[in-house]
């Protein structure tokens, strides 16, 4: 009798505890929903948060604390007033004024992309530079060999910024070179992301710091502040050497770009090496990111912006965006580039989770007769992203977009080729994280020769891919379709 009564009271108490707990969870969820609505976020993202918080409150709260909190920093680039950034802004404003009034622009590569160039001049202070030469790399080994050479001959400074900086043979070789340069009086500054480079050991960093290098972690993650910092990562890849040579693209510092990555196989990526005036914008972005973390600048930043002799005649704009920007510059650039296409759009991306505007632009272009080809990885390092990406394929196929799955390893390149005169190479993926949450950077190259070279590699990648057939894709298992639909719902959140 006493045992039964005890069990009865225990069950009643547990019931009330459960009800109370659920009530508290829903109160928190309602508070977060109201807060999210008042922030006037992207409507798709807002609706996704509301649905998850209402239907799955416990999971919703966990996801929100990890991925939903917004960055409160202002757009630092606009606030900084040191002379070199002011010069970049003034140059951009002057170019914008010139391009608005000029009726005799002779270069057809500029004319074809005039609206896009104006957009980035106005919104991103991305000046158009013509004194540039470019080298393109499609795998890690040749890129690293050239990087080792360039680092080894640095005379004044080396600035390195990566999302993923992973210990191994590549990192050790770079450390050895940097230690040598430090002994010769070269200033070295490294900036790595707190999540992407979280496995980089304290020992590796200490060796460089003790030798005189500056080693900065972008938004480091420490429990219990972990929940507010897993989002808004610095996904950029930048190297600047003496202000004369710059690198950007999709390749990080990791041995998997040389040896492959386990089940994913070889990592196929694209990176560019620039010599010329476009390097100034890479340096400006690095210095702004450095200031974001340290709140300090060099007393004489002009040392990082030397005069550059003639290097070539390639037109380049460097665009950057982040959660603190007043507009999504890279997203806007992608949309305009796709919308302005006349004959072809070729896209390589590992993560394809487009918003409605990009999706509509791709379908409209394909339906209007533009050849749209999209190569995605056949294998991917995130199941949620893979399912989410594949939820868009049926729509694309029905709109006459040609979709391929890369099968010669893991496709990690982020490349867009429009017609025969525009190439975009950088760190930004075709997903919500790159468009809205991460700090990203891309190079827009207005040059037919470079476009032709990148298109040749695109054809090689296409031959290493399997084309997705509409009738076959429509018959895929219902389990896959369900997983795709659920993952698509979560895509704007994570």
Q: How confident is the model over 382-422, as pLDDT tens digits?
A: 788 888 899 999 999 999 999 999 999 999 999 999 999 99
State residue 378's pLDDT score.
93
* Domains of the chain: total: 3
Q: Are residues 224 and 348 in the same domain?
A: no
For helices 202-210 and 169-183, the axis angle rounded to 10 degrees is 20
Q: Among the options 159, 280, 346, 414, which is catalytic?
A: 414
Is residue 112 included in any domain, yes or no?
Answer: no
Count each helix (H run) and each strand (E run) in the chain, helices first.
20, 17
Pairing of the two strands 271-276 and 245-249: antiparallel
**Distance in angstroms (rounded) separating the CA atoms of residues 331 and 64:** 24
Q: Are residues 336 and 224 in the same domain?
A: no
Find how far residue 120's CA is from the centre of its chain: 17
Q: Are residues 182 and 291 in the same domain?
A: yes
DSSP line for 197-226: TTTS-HHHHHHHHHTT-EEEEES---TTGG
Is residue 19 included in any domain, yes or no?
Answer: yes
Average pLDDT, the chain: 83
Q: Among the options 237, 346, 363, 421, which is catalytic?
A: 237
Domain boundary at 46, 68, 90, which?
Answer: 68
Is residue 291 included in any domain, yes or no?
Answer: yes
Q: Among the options 112, 159, 235, 421, which is catalytic?
A: 235
Question: What SS3 class is residue 352?
Answer: strand
Which CATH number goes with the domain that contains 402?
A: 3.30.870.10
pLDDT in tens, 280-313: 999 999 998 998 888 877 767 888 999 999 999 9
State residue 27's pLDDT score.
62
Q: Among the options 138, 150, 193, 242, which is catalytic?
A: 242
pLDDT in tens, 340-356: 999 999 999 999 999 88
Output the six-digit token pair for 283. Answer: 């340096």
Pairing of the two strands 422-426 and 415-418: antiparallel
pLDDT in tens, 83-134: 556 666 666 777 776 676 555 555 777 788 889 998 998 888 888 999 999 9
Is residue 374 included in any domain, yes or no?
Answer: yes
Q: Among the options 193, 332, 419, 447, which is catalytic?
A: 419
Is residue 324 included in any domain, yes or no?
Answer: no
Closest CA to 326 of 48, 36, 44, 77: 77
Average pLDDT for 451-461: 98
State residue 8's pLDDT score.
43
Residue 75 pLDDT > 50, yes or no?
Answer: no
Confidence of residue 54 (pLDDT cuts 50, 70, 90): low
Q: 440 or 65, which is more confident?
A: 440
Is residue 279 included in any domain, yes or no?
Answer: yes
Domain boundary at 286, 314, 342, which?
Answer: 314
* Cβ contact 324:436 at 8 Å: no
Q: Are residues 346 and 278 in the same domain?
A: no
Active site residue 412: yes
State residue 226's pLDDT score.
42
pTM attached to this predicted model: 0.83
Q: Are residues 156 and 216 in the same domain?
A: yes
* Cβ contact 429:330 at 8 Å: no
Domain boundary at 290, 314, 338, which?
Answer: 314
Is residue 222 included in any domain, yes or no?
Answer: yes
Q: Are residues 194 and 228 in the same domain?
A: yes
Q: Are residues 278 and 344 in the same domain?
A: no
Q: Are residues 174 and 281 in the same domain?
A: yes
Active site residue 310: no
Active site residue 419: yes
Q: Are residues 364 and 479 in the same domain?
A: yes
State residue 327's pLDDT score.
74
Q: Are residues 255 and 280 in the same domain?
A: yes
State residue 361's pLDDT score.
97
Q: Are residues 399 and 302 in the same domain?
A: no
Active site residue 242: yes
Q: Among the options 112, 159, 314, 412, which is catalytic?
A: 412
Active site residue 150: no
Find how far residue 434's CA is from the centre of its chain: 5
Confidence of residue 53 (pLDDT cuts 50, 70, 90): low
Output the six-digit token pair for 318. Answer: 């460097």
- Domain range for residue 342? 329-490
């Amino acid at each position: 009798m006493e045992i039964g009564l005890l069990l009865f009271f225990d069950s009643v108490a547990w019931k009330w505890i459960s009800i109370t707990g659920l009530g508290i969870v829903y109160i928190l969820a309602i508070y977060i929903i109201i807060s999210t609505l008042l922030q006037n976020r992207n409507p798709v993202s807002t609706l996704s948060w509301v649905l998850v918080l209402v239907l799955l409150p416990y999971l919703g709260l966990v996801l929100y604390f990890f991925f939903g909190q917004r960055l409160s920093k202002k757009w630092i680039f606009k606030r900084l007033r040191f002379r070199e950034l002011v010069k970049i802004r003034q140059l951009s404003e002057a170019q914008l004024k010139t391009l608005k009034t000029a009726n005799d622009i002779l270069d057809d590569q500029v004319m074809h992309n005039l609206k896009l160039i104006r957009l980035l001049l106005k919104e991103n202070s991305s000046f158009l530079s013509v004194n540039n030469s470019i080298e393109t790399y499609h795998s890690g080994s040749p890129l690293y060999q050239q990087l080792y050479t360039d680092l080894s001959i640095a005379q004044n400074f080396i600035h390195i910024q990566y999302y993923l900086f992973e210990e191994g043979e590549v990192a050790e070789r770079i450390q050895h070179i940097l230690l040598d340069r430090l002994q010769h009086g070269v200033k070295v500054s490294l900036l790595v992301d707190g999540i992407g480079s979280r496995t980089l050991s304290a020992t590796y960093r200490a060796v460089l710091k003790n030798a005189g290098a500056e080693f900065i972690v972008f938004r480091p993650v420490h429990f219990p502040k972990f929940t507010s910092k897993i989002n808004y990562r610095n996904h950029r890849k930048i190297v600047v050497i003496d202000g004369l040579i710059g690198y950007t693209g999709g390749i990080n510092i990791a041995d998997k770009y040389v040896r492959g990555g386990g089940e994913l196989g070889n990592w196929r990526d694209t990176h560019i090496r620039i010599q010329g005036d476009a390097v100034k914008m890479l340096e400006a972005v690095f210095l702004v990111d450095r200031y974001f973390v340290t709140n300090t600048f060099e007393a004489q930043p002009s040392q990082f912006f030397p005069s550059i002799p003639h290097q070539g005649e390639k037109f380049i704009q460097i665009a950057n965006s982040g959660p603190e920007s007043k507009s999504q510059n890279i997203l806007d650039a992608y949309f305009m580039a796709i919308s302005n296409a006349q004959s072809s759009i070729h896209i390589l991306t590992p993560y394809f989770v487009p918003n409605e505007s990009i999706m509509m632009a791709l379908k409209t272009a394909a339906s209007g007769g533009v050849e749209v080809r999209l190569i995605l990885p056949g294998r991917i390092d995130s199941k949620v992203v893979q399912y989410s990406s594949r939820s868009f394929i049926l729509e694309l196929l029905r709109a006459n977009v040609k979709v391929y799955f890369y099968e010669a390893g893991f496709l990690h390149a982020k490349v867009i080729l429009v017609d025969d005169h525009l190439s975009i190479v950088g760190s930004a993926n075709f997903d919500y994280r790159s468009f809205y949450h991460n700090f990203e950077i891309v190079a827009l190259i207005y040059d037919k020769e470079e476009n032709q070279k990148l298109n040749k590699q695109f054809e090689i990648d296409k031959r290493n891919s399997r084309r997705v057939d509409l009738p076959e894709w429509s018959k895929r298992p219902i389990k896959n379709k369900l997983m795709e639909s659920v993952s698509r719902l979560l895509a704007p959140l994570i």
